[in-house]
Structure 1
Amino acid sequence: MKKYISLFVIAGIVHTLFSLYWGLGGNAGLITVGSWVFTLSARFGIWMNMALIVVALIKFGATVIPLTLTNHFDKRIYYISLAGSVFLILYGGINTIVGWLKLFKIIENHNYFSTIGQAFVWDPLFLLWGIGLLGYVLSLHKFMSKA
C-alpha cells in the first residue's frame, strides 16, 4: 500500500505545486502546458491566476483527502477516489498516447513544447497519479474488508 501512496502523493503534489506556482505568477515550464494558457492569461489577467490557485487547491484536496481512508474508512471518499483514479488513468493515458502520436507525426502537432509536456510530463503524471490512487484504494478496500 505504501508504494501506491508514494506514487499518487508525489504525482499529485507535483501537479499541485506547479499550479500554485503558476497561479502566483511564475511562468517557468508554463510553455509545456500550451499557448492557450498565455492567451487566457493575457485576456483575463488576475482571474487566470486565481483560477490556477483554485485548481491547485482542488488538486491538493484530491491528493490528501484519500489519505484519510487509512484512519477512517468512508464509503463516499472511497468511491469518489475510485472514480477519480479511473478518470486520471483515462485522461492521463489517452493524452499521453496522443502526445506520443504527435511526436511520431501521426497526429498534427501545433506546438512542440506543449507536446513535450503532454507526452513526457503532465499527462504521464496524471496517469501515474491515477494508477497510484487506484492501487491505494483497491489495496485499502481489501485491507478494510478483512477487518
Structure 2
Amino acid sequence: MTEQVRTGYSRGWPAIAAFVVGLLFALVSLYWTVGGELGLDTVGGVIEEAVRTGNAGMTAVMVLVTVIKLVGAVFALALVQPWGRVFPRKLLLVLGWLGTAVLVLYGGFLTISEAVLAIGGAAGTETLAFRWHLYLWDPWFLVWGIALGLAMLRMHRR
C-alpha cells in the first residue's frame, strides 16, 4: 500500500500540482468570503464591494465558489490516490476533462483578452485590479487547468 501511494505521488505530480493550485485558490476565496480584506483591492469589482459592504447575497455566492474550488482541488487528488478508485473511472474522466476545459478556456480567454487590451492601451488597464487579474488571478485558472489536463492525460493513458 505504501508503495502504491509513493508511486502515485511520483507519477502523479500534475494531479498534486492541480490540488495545490486549487487549494491555494480556494483558501484565498475563503479568506475573502469570511471578510478578510488583505489584497481585496487586487480583485476589485463586485467581490471587493461585497466583502467591504457585507452583502449577504454575494457572500453566499462566494461560499459556493469557495466550495467548488475546494471540491475541484480534492478531485485532482482522487486521480492519484487509492481512495479515488471508489469512483467509476468513466465519471472521473468525464468530470476531469470537463473541469480541464472550463479552467483552460476561462483562464485562457480572460488572460488573452486582458493582454490584448493592455497591449492596445485600453482605458482601465492601468488599474491595480486589472493588472492583478492579468498577471495572477486569471492565469491562475489557466495554470490550474493545465495541471489538471496533464493529470487527466496520465490517467487516460493508464
TM-score w.r.t. the length of structure 2 is 0.78
- Cα pair 1:25 1:49 within 8 Å, conserved: no
- Whether 1:89 aligns to 2:85 is no
Following TM superposition, by how much is the alpha carbon of 1:19 offset from its aligned partner in structure 2, in angstroms? 0.6
Which residue of 2 is the match for residue 46 of structure 1? 56
How many pairs does the alignment contain?
143
Corresponding residue to 1:130 among 142, 145, 151: 145
**What amino acid sits opposite 2:33 in the alignment?**
G
Following TM superposition, by how much is the alpha carbon of 1:42 offset from its aligned partner in structure 2, in angstroms? 6.1
Helix, strand or coil at the partner of 1:26: coil
Which residue of 1 is the match for residue 4 of structure 2? none
Following TM superposition, by how much is the alpha carbon of 1:107 offset from its aligned partner in structure 2, in angstroms? 3.9
Counterparts of 2:96 and 2:62, CA distance in 1: 22
- Whether 1:3 aligns to 2:13 is yes
Counterparts of 1:107 and 1:47, CA distance in 2: 32
RMSD (CA atoms):
2.1
- Cα pair 1:100 1:119 within 8 Å, conserved: yes
- Whether 1:102 aligns to 2:112 is no
Larger mean CA deviation between 30-39 and 89-98 belongs to 30-39
Deviations 1:11-50 (A, max 9, x none): 2112100110001100222222222223444676233233
- Cα pair 1:40 1:48 within 8 Å, conserved: yes
Which residue of 2 is the match for residue 121 of structure 1? 136
Which residue of 2 is the match for residue 26 of structure 1? 36
TM-score w.r.t. the length of structure 1 is 0.84
- Cα pair 2:42 2:128 within 8 Å, conserved: yes
Which residue of 2 is the match for residue 17 of structure 1? 27
Following TM superposition, by how much is the alpha carbon of 1:88 offset from its aligned partner in structure 2, in angstroms? 0.5
Unmatched 5+ stretches in structure 1: none
Counterparts of 2:12 and 2:91, CA distance in 1: 22
Deviations 1:87-120 (A, max 9, x none): 1011101111122223223544266122112211
Helix, strand or coil at the partner of 2:79: helix
Helix, strand or coil at the partner of 1:28: coil
Which residue of 2 is the match for residue 63 of structure 1? 73
